[in-house]
Amino acid sequence: MILETNSPQETFSAGRQLGEKAFPGQVITLTGDLGVGKTVFTQGLAKGLGIEEPVNSPTFTIVQVYDEGSLPLYHFDVYRIGDIEEMDEVGFEEYVMGDGVSLIEWANLIEEILPENRTEVIIEKDLEKGFDYRKIIINEMK
């Protein structure tokens, strides 16, 4: 599925729609350059799960857990990951096997440990279409 948005609000809303359809154990990977809208999409997704507290990129921790929604949200931002073994230390495997929704920003950096069964979200800019234009590609991988 391919969506096109022209504002942060529209990207938020795309995330919210995915959040409303989320299921236990779902793994959602987010890929795209810095500033493309991964966190905006995540904030919408959290809203779709009924999470009201503010969601930001976890800067000093790799994972942030939100428990107040219809499903727990495990929000990973692996941008600063040094070594793939750090993912073991934070318990990545346990989260992915858990009943919550695991969402991973910069998932391409940990490609080798991603489960095959996942929802892949790729966000791209196209400056020819304007500064606020984003293409959002959502693929169910199996």
Helical residues (DSSP H) of 49-109, grouped into ranges: 85-89, 92-97
Tell the smallest beta-carbon distance from residue 120 to ligand ADP (Å): 15
Among 21, 34, 83, 112, binds ligand ADP (CB under 6 A): 34
- In one-letter notation, the amino acid at residue 107 is A
Tell the smallest beta-carbon distance from residue 99 to ligand ADP (Å): 26
Helical residues (DSSP H) of 21-84, grouped into ranges: 38-48
Query: What strand order describes the sheet that includes 2-5?
Result: 2-5, 134-141, 118-125, 27-31, 101-105, 73-77, 63-66
Site string for ligand ADP, 61-90 (x = CB under 6 A): ------------------------------
3-state helix, strand, coil in the chain (%, to 5): 30, 25, 40
Q: Which residue number, 32 or 72, has a Cβ lying nearer to ligand ADP?
A: 32
Among 26, 39, 43, 119, binds Mg ion (CB under 5 A): 39
Residue count at the site for ligand ADP (CB under 6 A)?
Answer: 18
Q: Is 11 in the site for ligand ADP (CB under 6 A)?
A: yes
Stretch that binds Mg ion, among 25-33, 34-42, 84-92, 128-136 (CB under 5 A): 34-42
Q: Is 38 in the site for Mg ion (CB under 5 A)?
A: yes
Q: What's the CA gap between 96 and 24, in Å, rounded?
A: 10
